[in-house]
Structure formats: structure tokens, C-alpha cells
Amino acid sequence: MRAKASDSRRSQSRAWCALFVAMTMLGGGLVRGQDAPTPDGFVETLVPLGAPREHWAMLNGSDTASPDSRHLVYQERKVKDDALMINGEMGDPFREIYGPVFSPDSKRIAWAATKGGPWKLIVNNEVSLKVRTPVSKPVFSPDSARLAIWSREGKSISLIIDKQVGPTFTQVVRDSLRFSRDSVRHAYVAGRDGRWHMVVDGHPGPDYDIIGSMPEFSPDGARLAFAAGDDDGWWVVADGTPQQRYAQIGSQPTFSPDSNHLAYWAQREADGDWVLVVDGEELAHTSCDAHGGETFSPDSQRIAAVIRQGDGWVVSIDGKAGDVWDAIGQGSFRFSPDSQRYAYGALRDGRWTVVVDGEAHETAKAVSQVGMQFSADSAHFVYAAQRDDRWRVVFDGQDHRAFESIVAESIAFSSDGRQLVYIAADASRQFVVHDGEVIAEADEVRSVAFSPDGEHLAWLARDGHRWRLYVNGEPGAEAF
């Protein structure tokens, strides 16, 4: 795919990219660069972005960081030629580039490219194989070991995976490709002659009038479920076996964390009530005229459903309905890590509250669903709430100091659940707040993070025009 070239100075984009790469401070991995010592033995790494080249311009929006934030790639253009700049080194020019994509482990980068002739799949600057016209970006498996790409020849489309060409189809749902979590299995939706198949591990399954969901592997990879239908109704196919027929299937089938249970929403009659189906049985007290999804507990022994009954919304846990609310915050329900506790956001009479273990906290003008979380030991719960036009973090029901704003995405517990950190702002200053106390301030703060053992706290801060990495309050040697 070709992106529009930027007319702005490339130096501005590169400065932003440098900041983006630096924002993950405590990760690992290899990178070309210059290392500078920082407090407590950490290493601060500078990633070279490459010197400007005459007549070449960076394409806006083409910059991509690896998952570990140790590598950076972006695309440059010179008239009709495109090239990738990887960690500051420019690769060969091509007429067109499709990708690039980093592997989940950040060790490989793949893209498809052509110089006007045959297309090639390239991995780490080495040609992996020749392909027909690609119709998707490359896709890595979760373990980074497998690589797939859709390829078209005439009217035929096939998936190439592990350099092996799969069966051909005239239609494919390109974003339907799914790997199992262990990367051993894969599945996708494809069609020919007006019929649709779920292709599993390279083998097309039975044909259907329509397949209405993406393939869903169980966490252990042993099971697979999806929705299929015809003019007379819909049903879920689980482990190759069609389940009960309904007028409609209303959600992607969901497996429990232990892979033993399967849940989905179904409608008995057109325009009728919905019901939550678990392991083929309709769960009691979940019949409703609308729903907001379901959630399995981490131990797979409990299930919660957000449902609308009449004019109100309730959360039903294990088939038992809770209090009635005007609304339930979409996606706000969560179980604690030990599965014993739960929380969600709810609205009544224009005021929001958070319900924790069935008890409603003090109401607020607004509650941020981002940042709502239990600590890893399940002992604590935290969220951000707005009262009287000021925001504060609420920790175990108690308000911290009020600020003009809270960066809800920054709220984080240490791995042992004993420490809490977040970014807050007042006027033109931003603050690092640790266990309710301000420990640092700057013009701008980003990316607060605990080390895995909880012994160190790092963040990026800017005063004026220069950024610096701080670890345990001590500044790093390099400003950028």
C-alpha cells in the first residue's frame, strides 16, 4: 500500500519517533545504538534514525516500533521508489512495499515488495520466497515462528504459510486468519462457488451458506468454535459439531480461560429476547431484550453478563441478577485475578458510580473505565473519578488528592500490588504520583512504569524542549 509523502520537515517526524522508541524504558532486546549509564545499573539506549538523504522523504504515518520498542522502521520515498529505514539503515529501493510487520518477539521484520516484476516476501532483509500479488500484509504467529501472507493469482486466492501454498478460493475474509495461542494451529474463512468454508490447519471444512463469525480457538488450542447460518437460522459450530439452531447468534463465541466452557448469546425468535448459552444450555436469569457481553472469571468457574431488562440494566453473575441501573459502563465489568471479587461502572440519575463486590461507591460526575483495575493480589481496587470538575484517583474507596486531570492509562500497580503510580496534571504542569504522594513534576510526563520486581520506578519527563529518562527519581545521562 502506498502512503502519501509528507511535505513537512523530516526532522520533526524523526524527533517524534525518537520519543516513541524511548517510551518503553525497562524492556530487553538488541538494538544498534549508543548506550549510556543510568541510575541503578540500567542502560539507556539511543536508536539511530538515519541521516537525511537527498530527494528522499519520510512518509507520514509509516513509522512502526517493534513490540519491545527497541527497533524502529519507517518508509521513505524518492519519486517512484520506496525504501525502508530500519534502525537508521536504509534498505534496497522498491517500486512498491506492502508492510512492514514486526514479529511478536521483535526479532524479525517482514514485508512484501516488488521492483516492478515478481513480488517477494522479505524477512530481515533476506528474500524468503517469491509470491504472486499479495493481498495482505504478512502475519506472524504468536510465537513468531510462523509467517503467513495472502496471495492472488488471477481470480484465485490462497494463503501461503510456512512457505507452503494452501487451497485456492475465489473469496477470502482476509482478517479472519487466526492462530491458536500456541501457534500450532490456524484457521480462516474462505469461499468458492457461492459457499463458505472454515479452513482449519489447511483443510476446508463443510460448506455453509454463510459463516457469521471469526474462528475462535480455545486457550489450549484444542477446540474451535464459530457461527454459521442459512435462511432458516443460525447456530454455533463447536469442535465440528453444530449446536442448537436459533433465530440469531449475537456475539463471537467465547471460551473460558481453562478451555472447558463455551459461551455465546442467542435469540430464540426474530426480534425476541436474547439469552446467554453456556455449554449448550441457556443460563437462568439472562433472558433480556439487549446485552452488553459476557465475562468468564480467571478461574473459569464464574460467568457474568450485562443485560437490559425493561428500562434498566443489571449485571447477572452466575445467573443471579444485581441492582438495576440506568446504564452499565461498556466493557467496565471485571473480575479480580483470584476470581473472588468483581467491579463495574454504573449510571443512575445522571451520576456515575463504581460498584465493587456489590457495594456502590460515592457517585461522581464521570468515571474513567480506563485504569479501573484490581491489584495482582486482588486486595486493592483503583479507578479515576471526576467530582466538582476535578479528577482524583479512588483507591479502595478513598479519594486521593484532586487534580485538573488524571492520565487514566498511566494508573498501574506494582507486580506485588503494594505500590500504585499514575500521572496527574494541574495547569501547565504534570506530576508523577506514587502511593498518593507527588514525587516529581515537569512540563510533561509520560510512560511511568515499575520494574518487574517492583524495586524501581521509571518515567520520561520533559522540561522545556528536552526529554530525559528518570529511574527512582534520578535523571539519566542523555537528554533528547
Handedness of CA 229, 234, 235, 236 (dihedral sign): positive
Better-scored residue on pLDDT, 65 or 7: 65
Say yes or no to pLDDT of 51 above 90: no
**Confidence band of 11 (pLDDT split at 50, 70, 90):** very low
Per DSSP, the residues of 357-414 read TTEE---BSEEEEEEEEE-TTSS-EEEEEEETTEEEEEETTEE---BSEEEEEEEEE-
Say yes or no to pLDDT of 9 above 70: no
> What's the whole-number mean pLDDT along residues 307-315?
91
Nine cell digits for residue 37: 549509564
Helices then strands, counting H and E runs in the chain, come out as 1, 52
Handedness of CA 467, 106, 458, 445 (dihedral sign): positive
Backbone φ, ψ for residue 11 (5° rounding): -60, -35
**Confidence band of 42 (pLDDT split at 50, 70, 90):** low
- How far apart, in whole angstroms, are the C-alpha atoms of residue 61 and residue 116? 24
Which pLDDT score is estimated for 49? 66
- How far apart, in whole angstroms, are the C-alpha atoms of residue 277 and residue 44? 52
Distances (CA, A) of 88 to 71, 437, 464: 10, 41, 27
- Which helix (H) or strand (E) segment holds residue 13: the answer is helix 10-22
| pLDDT > 70: percent of the chain | 89
The answer to whether the CB of 162 falls within 8 A of the CB of 139 is no
* pLDDT tens per residue, range 75-126: 999 988 999 999 888 999 999 998 899 999 999 999 999 998 899 999 999 9
Better-scored residue on pLDDT, 1 or 356: 356
> What's the whole-number mean pLDDT along residues 133-153?
94
Better-scored residue on pLDDT, 58 or 137: 137
- Which helix (H) or strand (E) segment holds residue 11: the answer is helix 10-22
**Confidence band of 48 (pLDDT split at 50, 70, 90):** low
Mean of the per-residue pLDDT values of the chain: 88
**Confidence band of 46 (pLDDT split at 50, 70, 90):** low
- Which helix (H) or strand (E) segment holds residue 125: the answer is none
Report the predicted TM-score, pTM, of the whole model to 2 decimal places. 0.82
Backbone φ, ψ for residue 143 (5° rounding): -85, 5
SS3 36: strand
Query: DSSP character for 40?
Result: G
> What's the whole-number mean pLDDT along residues 300-327?
92
- How far apart, in whole angstroms, are the C-alpha atoms of residue 237 and residue 234? 10
- Which helix (H) or strand (E) segment holds residue 456: the answer is none
| pLDDT > 90: percent of the chain | 72
Better-scored residue on pLDDT, 48 or 473: 473
* pLDDT tens per residue, range 207-261: 999 999 999 999 999 999 999 999 999 999 999 999 999 999 987 999 999 999 9
Say yes or no to pLDDT of 478 above 60: yes
Residue closest to 125 by CA, chosen among 85, 159, 95, 71? 85
